[in-house]
Amino acid sequence: MKNNGKNTNITVRGIQLHSLAAEIRYKNRLDLCLIKIEGQSNSVVRFTKNRFPAAPVIISKRHLKEIEPKYFLVNAGNANAATGQRGVADAISICEAISTLARCAKEQVLMFSTGVIGELLPVRKIISCLPKLFEESTRSGWMEAARAMMTTDTFPKIVTKEFELNGNRYSLVGICKGSGMIQPQMATMLAFVATDLPLSRKALELISGVALSDSFNKITVDGETSTNDSFTLISTNPEKTGLIDIGDPSFESAQNLISNCCKELALNIVKDGEGATKLVNIKVKGAWSDEEAKIIARSVANSMLVKTAIFAEDPNWGRIFSAVGASGAENIKQDKINIYIGEIKICHYGKAVEKLNELEVKTVMSSRNFDICIELNTGTFSADTWTCDLSYDYVKINAEYRS
């Protein structure tokens, strides 16, 4: 799987796109992108679980119930969230303007917004850019699209892959944005993954569920879930061949390819966590239940004290221990817990390891990526979550953003 830089001119047959600078919030940067599907396709879209979804989420959900989408408009700089009925009407206006240009039903248009909450979208600016977005769309606009959806992101996130299946060549591209407000159950994150491998709707739904649970739903930067998160998986069918369904010989390969793409995109979001300097995998093993494994992993991953200790490269495992105890899990025993940083055991059955070489642990923690593993020894369930450290720059970025 190639990423950032190499081979980003890859295309997905059946998909054209174009991005431009609409000055939605800032000048001289890409902030508006149209993705259009040329022929047959199936798409699956998953949205935020925040109870206050943004207007574009409300409208896109409504449209998706009616018909297969063909146009995806994405803007950065303004989330069109907490904008009331006016925000909903604005999103509808834009979808209608696209449907007029495209001569399609407005329900075939979905909209995605990210940026500041509580401000009205500059609708006219956006609509005035639409003709150009249509005219100049090409199959090779993926890298620009990844740039156009950035907010506090420090780099565009794109994963591309070309592969062969049953003697045919296919491609897979994933782009996403997101750096802060990342939490299991979706994040302030927009992601689009597209392939020209033709997949049935049922296959797409199953694949997206598995891929999400192993990627975007597993990452955390600061425990926040946003009003605008969404994940879109598109499968085109340029040759109008038979669709791959669940259980077909190629299904598993398709699942693995798409899961890996999502995982790599998700890791890029954590790596770009606001102010993050480290990417840490919190692994929980031997939990009494799946649910307990997950809440413990999240409790440790979201602990501000653990995250600052990671930033400081300080093997202060007492903070990990305390976060496990405070997780809400009930079937845990302190005298059964082991904790490892990298391969080094630092807590043995609830106590400090004797004669621990702290320097060795610090060496592990000085690298950009490492694991923290927690063995509970009360059951057989596991979970893992990726997190990042909490640095001075997290505060700086979030104190200064918007002001």
The 8-class DSSP code of residue 191 comes to E
Half-sphere exposure of 121 (CA within 13 A, CB side): 35
Which residue intervals of 186-250 are DSSP H helices?
A: 201-213
How would you class 315 by CB atoms within 10 Å of its CB: exposed for 0-12, middle for 13-18, buried for 19 or more?
A: buried
Interface with a copy of itself, residue 39, by CB under 8 A: no
Give the one residue of 24, 145, 309, 365 binding a copy of itself; rule: CB under 8 A.
309
The 8-class DSSP code of residue 231 comes to E
Interface positions, 230-289, toward a copy of itself (CB under 8 A): none
**The one segment of 60-68, 92-100, 255-263, 326-334 that binds a copy of itself by CB under 8 A:** 326-334
Catalytic residue among 160, 188, 195, 385: 188
Give the one residue of 199, 323, 372, 388 binding a copy of itself; rule: CB under 8 A.
323
Q: Which two tokens stand for residue 169?
A: 């060549």
Closest CA to 177 of 257, 116, 268, 262: 268
Closest distance to a copy of itself from the beta carbon of 30 (Å): 23
Closest distance to a copy of itself from the beta carbon of 311 (Å): 5
Give the one residue of 39, 66, 100, 118 binding a copy of itself; rule: CB under 8 A.
118
Give the one residue of 308, 377, 378, 382 binding a copy of itself; rule: CB under 8 A.
308
Torsion of CA 259, 263, 266, 272, to 10 degrees: -150
Residue closer to a copy of itself by CB (options 71, 386) is: 386
Give the one residue of 33, 92, 95, 181 binding a copy of itself; rule: CB under 8 A.
181
**The one segment of 67-75, 148-156, 243-251, 392-400 that binds a copy of itself by CB under 8 A:** 392-400
Interface with a copy of itself, residue 122, by CB under 8 A: no
Give the one residue of 71, 142, 170, 317 binding a copy of itself; rule: CB under 8 A.
317
Q: SS3 of 75, please?
A: strand
Mention every residue, 6+ apart, whose C-beta is less than 8 A from residue 354: none
Interface with a copy of itself, residue 81, by CB under 8 A: yes
Which residue intervals of 218-278 are DSSP H helices?
A: 251-271
**The one segment of 121-129, 191-199, 279-287, 348-356 that binds a copy of itself by CB under 8 A:** 348-356
Give the one residue of 14, 56, 141, 180 binding a copy of itself; rule: CB under 8 A.
180
Using only C-alpha atoms, what is the Rg of the chain? Answer: 22
Interface with a copy of itself, residue 75, by CB under 8 A: no
Interface with a copy of itself, residue 311, by CB under 8 A: yes
With contact defined as beta carbons under 8 Å apart, do 177 and 153 qualify?
yes
Give CA–CA dist 75/65, Å, rounded: 22
Which residue intervals of 303-391 are DSSP H helices?
A: 304-311, 317-325, 358-365
Give CA–CA dist 364/344, Å, rounded: 9
Q: Which two tokens stand for residue 29?
A: 């940067």
Give the one residue of 3, 16, 171, 225 binding a copy of itself; rule: CB under 8 A.
225
Give CA–CA dist 211/258, Å, rounded: 7
Closest CA to 80 of 57, 109, 49: 57
Any catalytic annotation for residue 188?
A: yes
- The DSSP bridge partners found for residue 371 are 281
Residue closer to a copy of itself by CB (options 245, 314) is: 314
Residue closer to a copy of itself by CB (options 203, 390) is: 390
Catalytic residues: 188
Q: Tell me which residues touch a copy of itself (CB under 8 A).
A: 50-53, 79, 81-87, 116-120, 180-181, 183, 222-227, 302-305, 308-309, 311-312, 314, 316-319, 321-327, 329-330, 332, 334-335, 337, 347, 349-352, 390-392, 394-396, 398-400, 402-403
